[in-house]
Amino acid sequence: MTDALIRVEELTLGWGKHVLLSHVTFEVERGDVFVILGGSGCGKSTLLRHLIGLEEPMAGTISIGSTGVPELEGAAPEFGVMFQSGALFSSMTVGENVGFALQEWTDLPSEAINAIVKAKLALVGLEGSEDKLPAELSGGMKKRAAIARAMAFEPNLLFLDEPSAGLDPVSAAELDELIIALNRGLGLTVVMVTHELESIFKVGKHCIMLDKESKGIIAAGDPRELKETSKDPKVHQFFHREARVR
């Protein structure tokens, strides 16, 4: 028996009569850094939206822990989510962004919320940024602030959508180090969508590779091993940055 935190069985995703992914099955073990990867349009971010309950599948099941995917309305979230752009509220300060969910879903006094906000910002290396507006932050700092907000409820599971997208190499490397620190230091399970090979090899422990044409998973395992051993041309091309011969 595996110590799976997430179980996905025979999942089919799409809209109307259009099927994007069909009969997708995989597990994410506790403490893993699990990467969903693949080419453009293969359904990576769509799969992530289904995992966090923003969309309902056409068929199949998703279970997180022992309860399935929780409802996102009316209750505090059981996991944290960092969206691709960070999705910070531009009219709120960084501190207000991080504390927003705590204000909405708890009866904690302001002093306690402020203490949590400071602790979460310190955790991601943004000490003293509480009063700044998102517009005053660099791209990497916005991603860190979004992770701090996702950590507000002390989740044991964190979803990241293209965390390194749009960042310079140094900021991307620093974000990779933060993800590793959260995983190792807090035992946090991380599920991330990315196509950045450097991040995949540095951070990822296991992965699945989605394929637009076959509408499913064409590779699964340790990304470093897949790079060296996979015989599938598409997998080889992806990991070796090779153009497809037409």
What does the pLDDT look like over 198-235, one tens digit per residue? 999 999 999 999 999 999 999 999 999 999 999 999 99
Which string of b and e fits 211-237 if b means at least 16 CB within 10 Å? Answer: beeebbbbbeeebeebbeebeeebbbe
Sole residue written with tokens 């025979």: 10
CB 190 within 8 A of CB 147: no
Beta pairing, strands 206-211 & 216-221: antiparallel
pLDDT at 243: 60
Coil, strand or helix at 125: coil
pLDDT at 241: 82
CB 8 within 8 A of CB 53: no
Domain ranges of the chain: 89-154
CA dihedral (109, 113, 119, 124) in degrees, to 10, reads: 170
What does the pLDDT look like over 75-105, one tens digit per residue? 555 799 998 777 899 999 999 999 998 998 8
